[in-house]
Structure 1
């Protein structure tokens, strides 16, 4: 689907809210403050108005890590669950993976660099403090991409704390970023740090395939596919392509589904498809209305064995 590649990081100029409220249900909080990074490019006409709901507690040791990707001409955050070492606390592990590893999906990327020092702590069940060394910011970014990188960190830190049960997801979760122990650092030369920050609304991907993850192998038969849309009740078009000899892909199955509207599952969608062994690509997009084309497509390659 041609999302953004790292080589063009500095070329994206889109309005980004840096501070905005979030709740456990993903909506903006009436008590949150917001600010915008000045932009010289276009706005985000199709961006959702909410942030993703905080992750729920899970028993898995996999860490939720957010990456940056592009769809429909806009830049959004996407999440993967990654295997991480257990030497550090869950928040530090997730952030270290975000700063030092590559995404499974080649359409995603991270502008962060592997830091020499990284530590995190949680106070009061609703404040996460991240202290990272300045070498993590050794990338040349414009103001808008720098703001997205900071939100990538905030989303990853809050996701890791929530999924490991370390914070109260009923409260607005705030993050303070220190650099070498100080509060006066300007991240990537563009974003002032030190103040408490929250998840910004409108940055999570409008359509998002959760499972299977990129290049995962699943058993033949009934294959369960899960995902999320930021528009509960919206129609989604999906398509399965099967890889053939020579690298070509042919349509195999297609259909339509509707994102859930129920509390706690708002925006979620699930497909159960009978697939024989083979290599496949899944495509899911928001259905266009009134003859308009589908938009905000996400793709995922996986194997059935």
Structure 2
């Protein structure tokens, strides 16, 4: 899990991950299993998500640009320090459906590559998407996708996970103009006013909420991929343009332990269009590695928002 402490991925046993997930998803009111105007009001906190306006808000997550790859951008939820953020992976998906639908289906039915991430969504019986004009995505999903018990804060993040994934898929596939604000309307079984996860009323147009993406985010390499030996390119993003980052490479010693191999510092770009992006080019021999990147602490304070990634050099 993204962390600041020193323990490495070897300590992330499946049972521990299950306990973390249970802690995140437990202790919340039961899902309201009906259209909001067809039954009693849900229990717990009802969160009203502001409708989208014509003015694009400032955001720490620029909309994805068009890419030639057929991989689908999918957002997941992960914890960093005491907060919960959104992280993105690119996934191989079947091409039978349109790019937005297949990205959302992956988000709701697949497991993240990185075991630090999770999704509260369930595989839906029905899922369809459409785009109207140049800036509105409509997602129509069946009620069974919401069969998880979440508290209000996690419910908001789950809805934003969908909004981020839908807009990312539409932008990266060239279906919408990434130069303008993109809005998403979520319908449940064709109806508006459904209360998602018992907390978030749907139906109004929504946009990406600023501040929900991870402050530090490793983009490449992805979890457990194999890369060619020699110069290994590492890319990522920080929400602090021009901010200092500290990184560390640990190498497997072959006895189940990981030992420090390389350390360094880098600065996230402050250039327009590349704000927050950082890149490393490292020469690594064959082996199993773990990369750790964190925001450098200010005033001698501890580093924050560490993200980690395991990969192999062959």
TM-score for the superposition, normalised by structure 1: 0.88
> Of residues 204, 215, 220 in structure 1, which corresponds to 2:224?
215
The answer as to whether partners of 2:130 and 2:138 remain within 8 angstroms in 1 is: yes
The corresponding residue for 2:55 is: 31
| Runs (5+) with no aligned partner, structure 2 | 4-16, 29-46
| Cα distance in 1 between the residues matched to 2:71 and 2:244 | 31
Q: Secondary structure of 1:246's match?
A: coil
Q: Secondary structure of 1:115's match?
A: coil
The corresponding residue for 1:98 is: 107
**2:163 paired with 1:163:** no
The corresponding residue for 1:140 is: 149
**2:226 paired with 1:235:** no
Q: Which structure is larger by alpha-carbon Rg, 1 or 2? A: 2
**2:273 paired with 1:298:** no
Is the alpha carbon distance of 1:12 and 1:71 closer, same or farther for their aligned partners in structure 2, counting shifts above 3 Å?
farther
Q: Secondary structure of 1:176's match?
A: strand
Larger RCO, structures 1/2 (Cα 8 Å, 6+ apart)? 2
**2:245 paired with 1:226:** no
> Of residues 180, 183, 188 in structure 1, which corresponds to 2:189?
180
| Cα distance in 2 between the residues matched to 1:292 and 1:95 | 39
The corresponding residue for 1:7 is: 22
**Cα offsets for 1:271-297 (capped at 9, x unmatched):** 000000000000000001111000000
Is the alpha carbon distance of 1:236 and 1:86 closer, same or farther for their aligned partners in structure 2, counting shifts above 3 Å?
same
Query: Which 4+ stretches in 1 moved above 3 angstroms?
Result: 1-5, 10-13, 16-21
Is the alpha carbon distance of 1:53 and 1:223 closer, same or farther for their aligned partners in structure 2, counting shifts above 3 Å?
same
RMSD between aligned alpha carbons?
Answer: 1.9
Instruction: Count residues in correspondence.
Output: 281
Deviation of 1:102 (Å): 0.2
Question: Which aligned pairs between 1:74-93 and structure 2 lie closer than 5 A?
Answer: 74-93=83-102
Deviation of 1:9 (Å): 2.1
| Runs (5+) with no aligned partner, structure 1 | 22-28, 34-48
Is the alpha carbon distance of 1:228 and 1:20 closer, same or farther for their aligned partners in structure 2, counting shifts above 3 Å?
farther
| Cα distance in 2 between the residues matched to 1:284 and 1:217 | 19
The corresponding residue for 1:259 is: 268
